[in-house]
Each structure stands twice: as structure tokens, then as C-alpha cells.
């Protein structure tokens, strides 16, 4: 069995608060010196939760195009959501221009409350070139970052795996004391997702696929068997070593996740009794327990509503209505929980489905496979509102499909990777999302700035491409001190000295060379006290910091 055909472990990483010479910087979280030393600290704690609506969600009954209601009703005479009466759609936002106004399905009261609280963004008319109507192929394209064109139709890896591998290139597929956490976790589905698959052996994901009686997902996907003591010196032996390494990594991950789960909690007990809510409840507890996983993937199925999508003469009840209520209530409970845990600022969630449904009903109180659909983004740091306008029901294909695509789904994912998680342009290139225009979906105050980007040959754990952190000697210093470190590459840098209050004491431009580097700082005229030495890469904006004491 070849390595790439066997279960591979997804890279692990733990992101901790800045430590300067062993001193954690969290006590300075609101001070000027904290911004100088580590303005990117909040980016390290950010999490993206992806929610897959399996089966192809019907976006038109989820979001009714209000101004086009006569066209909508004519296309769906038996399944349309009423525009009046006690079961009419919910007017989402009366401040929107008339062409953009939507009626939210009446079962989605939780989502409406979140929208009114500024925690929901809706992206209209999302798809990709030459959309595929197959559940399996359509899902593969969304997870691989592909589309229906020949050059992007057979991508063998997942965009989540490529992105995280490019963001954290130094992580080699096993937990370490500095990086104990898996970067990606799939929850609630025993089948590993293509989305986390990479083309290297340091791949796949950690999968939580078992439920305990309380609804938590806590079983780690692993392989069993006692380890072999005598491994032959052959290709077969190399494969055995690899398999045992996989199992060892899983065991270490399992312990780490168990520790985080036991350390964590939930702030509410009102999660609905549905599968998606159980998945999100588990994620909230892991986050509260200190797990630094960057991307979680969960799902809710049942959206393939060819028949009995609604009850006859009761169109706001039935399969689709139940799914939308479960989804809406689960999301609302999740973000209420995060807020109660004090981590609401750290998490953003996003939905996707393999395709939408046909604009015209099918005669079986249902809808057939379609094309375009909306995507939903959730979180305190999302720029609330509607991006784009309602699909044009007057311009359909010959088989009654929506045809006016407004946004490529890769625009949404590229936005979340860079503006929310801080992926640099190299990561977008490796993810195959380069060139896709980002959307105004993340709140302006929360958009990651380029000096906090992550990826390429460096990461947040190695911001300057140095092999050792800054060392200052002597420390304490009387008259001068030497700043020493090792670098892998040459770059222009700025060497600055700051007081404990954040004031810049001195600054100089320096040229870093590969190998050992030494720079001297004159501190003879400085008052006794604590200072910080900062070396910043002028190209990337990344910086490293060391603490310096001056005494007389």
C-alpha cells in the first residue's frame, strides 16, 4: 500500500500568545506596547467554521426575491412561500434597495435575530463556471477549489488542505510541544473530506466521528493493532514505519483533543437536539478549552428535495422547512454559546452547498438539481448585510435554471482565508484562489492587514525566516548590548528599541544576511528600566521581539 493511498494525518499546529524571553505578553493586551510587539495576536486565535449543506440547498425558498414575487410564484405554484398571512416570509431588511429585498423563510427566526444583531452576511448568486449537477462531482469541485472547465475539473487535492499547508509550511504532520493542535478537524462525518486532502504525505485530517450520550463528537478516527517490533529494512518496512507513525500521531492528537475538551465547557444548555447543533456544540467546547485548530468542517444533510419538499397546501412546513429551522436554530445557539464563553470575536462561519435547486418546481412538491445559490457568513466580525442582488428569474436557461452568476464561490473562500485568517498571497496562489476578487464581507476593523499575513516559507511561528529567536547580550546591559540571531535568507530590516510604555527610543535600518547576524545597540544614556528590541522585516512586515533590561 503506497503512502499517498493510506490514511494521512493533517498537519498540527498550536498558536500561543507572544512570549518574549519567556514572558507571556497577554497582560499587555490593551496597551500601546502590545500593539508594537504583537499587533497580530488576535489573528492567531481566529477560527473558521465551514458548514456544508449536503444535497443542494434550495436558495429560492430560503431567500424569496420579494420584488420578483409574481415570477417566483408562477415558477413555483405549489411550493412557494406565501407573501401574506400568518406564514408569510420574514422581511429580512427593509433598508435594502427594492431589487435586493429578500423574504427569509419563516422558520429561520434565529437567523433573522442574528442578522438584526449585525452577525450575518448573505452573498447572492454564487456558483462557478460550467456548474456540475452531480452531487458527487459538484461536492468535489467545491472542496477541491475547481470548476467545470477542463483545466480545473480534476484537481486531486482539497483547497483547505492546500491553504493550511501553505500557511504553516513548517508543520510536518505530527504534534510538537510548540504546535500540539491539528490545523483542521472534521466533525460529525465518518467519511474523510476531500477538502482537507493534500498532495503530500502530511495530510488528511483529524476526524471526530462518534457521539456520546450528550451529543458531543469525541471519537478520533484511528487505526488499531499492536506495533511491530522488528521492521524489515525494505520498502515494505518503510510503509510499516509510516503507518505506525500515523497511529502514533493520532494517539497524541487524541490526548490533546481530550485535554482541550475536558478543559472546555459550554455556556448554554439550549442547543437544539439535532446533528448540526451537536457538532457545533462540540466545536464551541474545544475552542473554549484552548484548542487552536484553524478550520473546522461540519455538515447537515437532507437538502436533496426532489419530492415532498413541502407539505401540500402547507408550503412553510415539510422537509425543507425542518432543515432550515434546524440549521438556523443551531447557528444561533452556537454563536450565543461562543459569546457566553467570551470567544465570540474569534469565530466566523460560512455555509456552502454543491448547487442550488431548479427555479421551476418539478410537479412532485419538490425541486430538481439546479445551479446558483446563496452563501451565508456568520460572526461578530462579519460585515452584515446582503452582497449582490436577487437572481433574475426573468433570465433562465432553457431548462429553467438560474444563469446570472454574480460571484464565484472562490471569491468568498479567498476573502475568508486572507481577510479573516490572514493568509498571504502565496497561500492564495497555492490554494488556486489567486486572481479572484475579494468581497467586502469581513468588517473593516477586523480585516487582517498585510503586516499580519501568514504563509510562504515563514509562518507566525517563524516571522522573520530566522532559525533562532533574537538574543540580546549582555542582559541586563549597562552601556551597549548585542542583538544576535540566525537567518535563512537576506532581507532589509528595521531595528528599533522601545520603552515599556511603547515609546520608540531608537531606530536604524539594517541589512540581514544569511547565517549569523550581530547588531549593537547603545544604551548608555537610557534610564534604568525594561525595554524591548524589535527587528522587523521591511518586506513582509513580520517582526521578532526580545526583552532587554537596562541597569546601572
Residue 249 confidence (pLDDT): 55
Indicate if the pLDDT at residue 320 is higher than 60: yes
pLDDT tops 80 at residue 457: no
Q: Which range (234-248, 282-296, 472-486) has the least confidence?
A: 234-248
pLDDT of residue 216: 83
In order of 56, 318, 323, 355, 357, the CA distances from 310 in angstroms are 16, 4, 11, 19, 14
Query: How far are the Cα atoms of 38, 324, 377, 420 from residue 118, in angstroms, in the given order?
Result: 28, 20, 11, 17
Q: What is the CA radius of gyration of the chain?
A: 26
Three-state secondary-structure class, residue 197: coil
Greater pLDDT, 23 or 124: 124
pLDDT score, position 340: 97
Q: Which of 466, 471, 533 is nearest to 170 (CA)?
A: 466
Q: Could you tell me the pLDDT band of residue 226, with boundaries at 50, 70 and 90? A: very low
Is residue 278 within 8 A of residue 215, CB to CB? The reply is: yes
**pLDDT, tens digit, 9 for 90 and up, residues 29-44:** 233 444 444 457 789 8
First to last CA, the chain: 67
Report whether pLDDT(17) > 80. no
- The confidence score (pLDDT) of residue 214 equals 82
Burial profile 515-528: b = 16 or more Cβ within 10 angstroms, e = fewer: eebebebebeebee
Q: What is the mean pLDDT of the chain?
A: 83
For cell 410564484, name the residue.
73
> What's the pLDDT band for 200 if we cut at 50, 70, 90?
low
Q: What is the pLDDT of residues 350-360, one digit of tens each?
A: 999 999 999 99
- What is the value of pTM for the model shown? 0.75
Instruction: Give me the mean pLDDT over the 414-419 stretch.
Output: 98
Asked if 266 and 337 touch (Cβ cutoff 8 Å), the reply is yes
Report how far apart, in Å, the C-alpha atoms of 266 and of each of 142, 280, 281, 442 are.
Answer: 32, 11, 7, 26
Interior angle at CA 494, CA 490 and CA 499, nearest 5: 140
Residue 22 predicted with pLDDT over 90: no
Q: Which of 135-144, 350-359, 503-512 bottoms out in mean pLDDT, i.e. has the lowest? A: 503-512
Model confidence at 62: pLDDT above 70: yes
Cell numbers representing residue 394 in the block: 426573468
Place of cell 488576535: 42
Please state, as a whole number, how many other Cβ atoms lie within 10 Å of the Cβ of residue 210: 13
Residue 225 confidence class, pLDDT cut points 50, 70, 90 = very low
Strands (E), 105-204: 120-127, 184-187
Structural domains in the chain, sorted by start: 3-448 (3.40.720.10), 471-550 (2.60.40.2550)
Distance CA 402, CA 529 (A): 67
- Write down the pLDDT at residue 171: 64
The grid coordinates of residue 539 equal: 518586506
Q: Give percent of the chain with pLDDT exceeding 90.
A: 58
* Residue 14: per-residue pLDDT: 28
How far CA 329 is from CA of 108, 304, 333, 336, 383, in Å, comes to 7, 20, 6, 10, 21
Angle between helices 159-167 and 135-144 (to 10 degrees): 10
* DSSP code per residue over 312-333: TTBTTSSHHHHHHHHHHHHHHH
Amino acid at each position: 500500500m503506497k503512502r499517498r493511498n493510506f490514511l494521512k494525518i493533517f498537519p498540527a499546529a498550536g498558536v500561543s500568545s507572544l512570549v518574549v524571553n519567556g514572558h507571556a505578553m497577554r497582560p499587555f493586551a490593551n496597551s500601546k506596547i502590545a500593539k508594537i510587539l504583537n499587533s497580530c495576536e488576535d489573528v492567531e486565535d481566529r477560527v473558521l467554521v465551514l458548514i456544508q449543506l449536503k444535497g443542494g440547498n434550495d436558495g429560492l425558498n430560503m431567500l424569496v426575491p420579494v420584488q420578483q414575487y409574481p415570477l417566483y410564484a408562477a415558477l413555483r405554484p405549489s411550493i412557494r412561500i406565501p407573501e401574506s398571512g400568518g406564514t408569510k416570509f420574514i422581511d429580512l431588511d427593509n433598508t435594502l434597495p427594492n431589487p435586493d429585498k429578500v423574504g427569509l423563510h419563516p422558520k429561520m427566526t434565529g437567523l433573522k435575530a442574528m442578522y438584526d444583531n449585525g452577525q450575518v452576511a448573505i452573498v447572492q448568486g454564487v456558483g462557478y463556471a460550467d456548474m456540475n449537477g452531480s452531487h458527487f462531482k459538484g461536492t468535489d469541485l467545491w472542496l477541491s477549489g475547481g470548476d467545470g472547465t477542463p483545466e480545473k475539473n480534476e484537481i486531486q487535492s482539497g483547497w483547505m488542505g492546500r491553504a493550511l499547508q501553505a500557511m504553516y509550511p513548517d508543520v510536518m504532520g505530527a504534534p510538537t510541544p510548540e504546535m500540539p493542535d491539528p490545523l483542521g478537524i472534521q466533525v460529525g462525518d465518518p467519511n474523510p473530506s476531500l477538502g482537507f486532502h493534500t498532495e503530500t504525505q502530511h495530510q488528511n485530517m483529524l476526524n471526530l466521528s462518534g457521539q456520546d450520550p450528550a451529543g458531543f463528537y469525541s471519537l478520533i478516527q484511528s487505526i488499531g493493532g499492536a506495533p511491530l517490533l522488528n521492521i524489515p529494512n525494505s520498502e515494505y518496512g518503510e510503509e510499516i514505519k509510516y503507518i505506525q507513525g500515523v497511529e502514533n500521531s493520532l494517539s497524541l492528537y487524541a490526548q490533546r483533543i481530550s485535554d482541550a475538551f475536558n478543559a472546555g465547557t459550554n455556556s448554554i444548555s439550549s442547543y437544539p437536539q439535532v446533528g448540526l447543533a451537536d457538532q457545533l456544540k462540540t466545536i464551541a467546547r474545544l475552542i473554549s478549552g484552548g484548542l487552536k485548530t484553524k478550520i473546522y468542517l461540519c455538515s447537515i444533510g437532507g437538502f436533496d428535495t426532489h419530492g415532498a419538499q413541502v407539505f401540500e397546501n402547507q408550503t412553510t412546513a415539510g422537509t425543507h422547512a425542518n432543515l432550515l429551522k434546524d440549521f438556523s436554530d443551531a447557528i444561533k445557539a452556537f454563536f450565543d454559546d461562543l459569546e457566553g464563553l467570551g470567544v465570540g470575536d474569534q469565530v466566523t462561519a460560512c455555509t456552502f452547498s454543491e448547487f442550488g435547486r431548479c427555479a421551476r418546481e418539478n410537479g412532485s412538491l419538490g425541486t430538481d438539481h439546479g445551479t446558483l445559490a446563496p452563501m451565508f457568513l456568520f460572526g461578530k466580525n462579519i460585515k452584515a448585510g446582503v452582497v449582490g442582488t436577487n437572481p433574475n428569474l426573468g433570465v433562465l436557461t432553457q431548462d429553467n435554471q438560474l444563469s446570472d452568476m454574480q460571484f464565484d464561490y472562490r471569491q468568498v473562500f479567498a476573502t475568508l482565508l486572507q481577510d479573516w485568517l490572514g493568509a498571504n498571497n502565496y497561500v492564495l496562489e497555492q490554494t488556486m484562489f489567486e486572481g479572484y476578487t475579494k468581497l467586502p464581507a469581513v468588517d473593516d476593523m477586523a480585516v487582517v492587514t498585510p503586516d499580519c499575513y501568514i504563509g510562504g516559507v515563514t509562518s507566525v511561528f517563524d516571522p522573520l525566516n530566522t532559525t533562532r529567536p533574537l538574543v540580546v547580550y549582555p542582559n541586563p546591559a549597562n552601556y551597549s548590548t548585542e542583538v544576535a540571531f540566525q537567518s535563512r535568507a537576506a532581507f532589509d530590516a528595521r531595528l528599533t528599541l522601545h520603552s515599556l510604555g511603547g515609546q520608540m527610543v531608537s531606530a536604524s535600518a539594517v541589512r540581514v544576511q544569511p547565517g549569523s547576524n550581530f547588531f549593537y545597540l547603545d544604551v548608555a544614556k537610557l534610564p534604568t528600566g525594561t525595554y524591548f528590541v524589535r527587528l522587523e522585516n521591511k518586506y513582509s512586515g513580520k517582526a521578532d521581539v526580545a526583552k532587554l533590561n537596562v541597569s546601572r
